[in-house]
């Protein structure tokens, strides 16, 4: 390999199979799957979804991050960059394993996730499974559990202790814990580990269940020829085990408070920018240890999925640094990131990997330059194409083959909702570009057709667009703190007829 910083080095071929074979996929987070338990999970409905996806001729399923969510329920703000979300654990599979009796469905809505109601119900069920496991584990599970703990001990023990202390402290963020715990003093942690031993075990067991069930989904997807595209946010949540256990890797003061936070400047989503509030990496500290934390994060993630999408890829080139305590993101400044060095370390340790670069927003010229130097596919959003600029890079005629086109993402309104709210000139341009002259309800499928016909190697649509749904089905509205991540697919919506329609489109466009 050429030395790091050698701008003449050949591009690292990270894009292994992502866009080399013309194909298509659907964006759907597991929480949005149908089912009787108030939230989508990794049980029978997930396998039925994979059956439907295979019947449609699509070959990729893209999810959002799969980590344990906290306040706000955002999968982009998790308690750990390595752990799985216990709310996705299937009650049906717990019953099949003999860990619980078949649970009656709770009285919860089936068109949206009511997190305030479903979380205590699910955790009570997981506690029941834990007690049964402790008092008499079904045959074989004890050995599997022990092997899991050994395989994942590099992150699992810190995570389980962090969550046990958090529960004992009433759920508050780690920076409000008593000083010996806030600063992770070894003698204090040893005492808490002994005192909270059962709760630590409980947290580890929940992770065992999640990863065991997720492995079943991976097997089912592979058997159907479907690749799973995972998603990792470039930044971690402030209230996470990652920051608490490794404060040296972030910009914190001597009291372990954030000095600067992440976000983006004003853009097409918000006039005041987006104040994410994530801690920013001390890249010099990461470089000093060969970017080992990032190598392990990617190693772990690629062990869970087939392709990794890195959210906010531009942060490796430069990132928006906002003073901690600022009321909005307007007061920030651009700071140079580590660039290619991170990816060289990943490639040296793990080899060439299938990675997608989320390269949206107002970009520094260095962002597409790094993306192309690494050979990574970027993203094109069809909803952004119709501002009247003939050079707009989101117009399909400007796509390279090595890219992924989306009708929209989790941060966009649904295509039907978008169409109904944009200005008339933009609507007219969109209709003309995609050949849609019927009713507004036809727009989602016309946009899907335009994406599928494009040169992009991979075309993806959110399931909401395939179902032709409006704004009520939107997954997330950036710069809003509540009411997001709730949408669920209706029972019976994934019909054979709809799969056949999508298969015909895949066949006509050479993506089947």
Domain that holds residue 276: 23-376+475-505
Asked whether residue 463 is domain-assigned, the answer is no
- Based on the fold, state whether residues 352 and 446 are members of the same structural domain: no
Other Cβ atoms closer than 10 A to 512: 17
Across residues 497-504, what is the average pLDDT? Answer: 98
Token digits of residue 371: 């993306």
b/e code 290-308 from CB counts within 10 Å (16+ = b):
ebebbbbbbebbbebbbbb
pTM above 0.85, yes or no: yes
- Based on the fold, state whether residues 201 and 340 are members of the same structural domain: yes
pLDDT confidence of 269, banded at 50, 70, 90? low
Token digits of residue 159: 């995570």
- Based on the fold, state whether residues 259 and 131 are members of the same structural domain: yes
Angle at which helices 44-55 and 496-508 pack, to 10 degrees?
40
Total domain count, the chain: 2
Torsion of CA 41, 43, 45, 51, to 10 degrees: 120
Q: Is the separation of the CB atoms in 321 and 333 below 8 Å? A: yes
Asked whether residue 182 is domain-assigned, the answer is yes
267 is catalytic: no
What digits encode the pLDDT tens for the residues 164-214?
Answer: 999 999 999 999 999 999 999 999 999 999 999 999 999 999 999 999 999
pLDDT confidence of 17, banded at 50, 70, 90? low
What digits encode the pLDDT tens for the residues 325-359?
Answer: 999 999 999 999 999 999 999 999 999 999 999 99
DSSP one-letter code for 38: S
Asked whether residue 7 is domain-assigned, the answer is no
Amino acid 10: pLDDT: 37
CATH number (domain holding residue 197): 3.20.20.80
Q: Rounded to an integer, what distance in angstroms lies between the CA atom of residue 14 and that of residue 26?
A: 22
The secondary structure of 323-334, three-state, reads: ECCCCCCCCCEE
Amino acid 345: pLDDT: 97
Among 41, 311, 359, 465, the active-site one is 311
- Based on the fold, state whether residues 184 and 112 are members of the same structural domain: yes
Minimal CA–CA distance to 475: which of 116, 71, 31, 40?
31
- Based on the fold, state whether residues 227 and 204 are members of the same structural domain: yes
- Based on the fold, state whether residues 162 and 216 are members of the same structural domain: yes
Q: 320 pairs with which residues across the strands?
A: 263, 334
| DSSP assignments along 249-289, one per residue | GB-B-TTS-BSEEEEE-S-SS-TT-EEEEEEPB-HHHHHHT
What digits encode the pLDDT tens for the residues 289-314?
Answer: 999 999 999 999 999 999 999 999 99
Asked whether residue 114 is domain-assigned, the answer is yes
Asked whether residue 512 is domain-assigned, the answer is no
Asked whether residue 226 is domain-assigned, the answer is yes
| Sequence-separated contacts (24+) of 119-124 with Cβ below 8 Å | 119/87, 121/37, 121/38, 122/37, 122/38, 122/39, 122/86, 122/87, 122/89, 122/91, 123/86
- Based on the fold, state whether residues 51 and 173 are members of the same structural domain: yes
Torsion of CA 292, 297, 299, 302, to 10 degrees: -160
- Based on the fold, state whether residues 313 and 402 are members of the same structural domain: no
Q: Rounded to an integer, what distance in angstroms lies between the CA atom of residue 41 and that of residue 22?
A: 30
- Based on the fold, state whether residues 352 and 434 are members of the same structural domain: no
- Based on the fold, state whether residues 104 and 234 are members of the same structural domain: yes
- Based on the fold, state whether residues 39 and 136 are members of the same structural domain: yes
Minimal CA–CA distance to 200: which of 136, 157, 169?
157
Asked whether residue 510 is domain-assigned, the answer is no
Asked whether residue 245 is domain-assigned, the answer is yes
311 is catalytic: yes
Q: H helices within 108-185, ranges in order?
A: 115-136, 141-151, 153-168, 179-182
Query: Percentage of the chain surpassing pLDDT 70?
Result: 96
446 is catalytic: no
Q: Rounded to an integer, what distance in angstroms lies between the CA atom of residue 55 and that of residue 53?
A: 5
Among 231, 344, 411, 465, the active-site one is 411
Which is more confident, 2 or 423? 423
What digits encode the pLDDT tens for the residues 127-142?
Answer: 999 999 999 888 889 9
Q: Is the separation of the CB atoms in 86 and 126 below 8 Å? A: yes
- Based on the fold, state whether residues 173 and 84 are members of the same structural domain: yes
């Amino acid at each position: 390999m050429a030395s790091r910083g050698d701008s003449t080095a050949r591009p690292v071929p990270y894009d292994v199979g992502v866009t080399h074979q013309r194909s298509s996929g659907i964006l759907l987070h597991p929480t949005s799957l149908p089912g009787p338990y108030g939230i989508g999970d990794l049980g029978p409905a997930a396998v039925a979804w994979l059956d439907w996806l295979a019947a449609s001729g699509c070959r990729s399923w893209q999810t959002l991050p799969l980590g344990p969510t906290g306040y706000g329920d955002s999968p982009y703000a998790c308690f750990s960059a390595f752990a799985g979300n216990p709310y996705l654990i299937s009650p049906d599979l717990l019953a099949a394993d003999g860990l619980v009796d078949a649970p009656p469905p709770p009285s919860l809505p089936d068109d949206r996730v009511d997190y305030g109601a479903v979380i205590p119900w699910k955790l009570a069920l997981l506690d029941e499974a834990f007690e049964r496991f402790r008092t008499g584990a079904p045959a074989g599970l004890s050995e599997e559990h022990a092997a899991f703990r050994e395989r994942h001990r590099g992150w699992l023990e810190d995570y389980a202790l962090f969550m046990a202390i958090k529960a004992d402290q009433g759920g508050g963020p780690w920076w409000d814990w008593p000083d010996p715990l806030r600063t992770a003093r070894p003698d204090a942690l040893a005492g808490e580990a002994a005192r909270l031993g059962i709760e630590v075990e409980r947290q580890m067991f929940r992770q065992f269940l999640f990863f065991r069930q997720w492995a079943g989904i991976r097997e089912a997807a592979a058997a159907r020829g479907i690749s799973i595209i995972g998603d990792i946010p470039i930044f971690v949540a402030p209230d996470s085990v990652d920051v608490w256990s490794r404060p040296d890797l972030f910009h914190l003061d001597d009291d372990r408070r954030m000095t600067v936070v992440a976000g983006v400047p004003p853009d097409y989503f918000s006039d005041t920018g987006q104040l994410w509030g994530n801690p920013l990496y001390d890249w010099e500290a990461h470089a000093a240890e060969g970017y080992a934390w990032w190598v392990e994060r990617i190693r772990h993630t690629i062990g869970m999925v087939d392709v990794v999408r890195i959210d906010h890829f531009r942060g490796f080139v430069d990132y928006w640094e906002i003073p901690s305590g600022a009321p909005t993101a307007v007061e920030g400044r651009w700071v140079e990131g580590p660039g290619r060095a991170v990816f060289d370390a990943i490639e040296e340790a793990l080899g060439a990997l299938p990675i997608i670069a989320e390269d949206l927003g107002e970009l520094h010229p260095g962002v597409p330059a790094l993306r192309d130097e690494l050979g990574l596919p970027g993203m094109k959003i069809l909803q952004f194409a119709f501002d009247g600029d003939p050079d707009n890079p989101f117009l399909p005629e400007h796509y390279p083959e090595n890219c992924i086109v989306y009708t929209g993402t989790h941060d966009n309104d649904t295509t039907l909702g978008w169409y109904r709210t944009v200005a008339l000139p933009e609507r007219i341009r969109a209709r003309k570009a995609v050949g849609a002259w019927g009713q507004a309800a036809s727009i989602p499928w016309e946009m899907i057709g335009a994406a599928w016909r494009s040169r992009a190697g991979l075309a993806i649509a959110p399931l909401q667009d395939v179902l032709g749904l409006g704004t009520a089905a939107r997954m997330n509205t950036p710069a809003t703190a509540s009411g997001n991540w709730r949408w669920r697919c209706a029972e019976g919506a994934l019909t054979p007829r709809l799969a056949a329609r999508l298969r015909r489109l895949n066949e006509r466009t050479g993506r089947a």
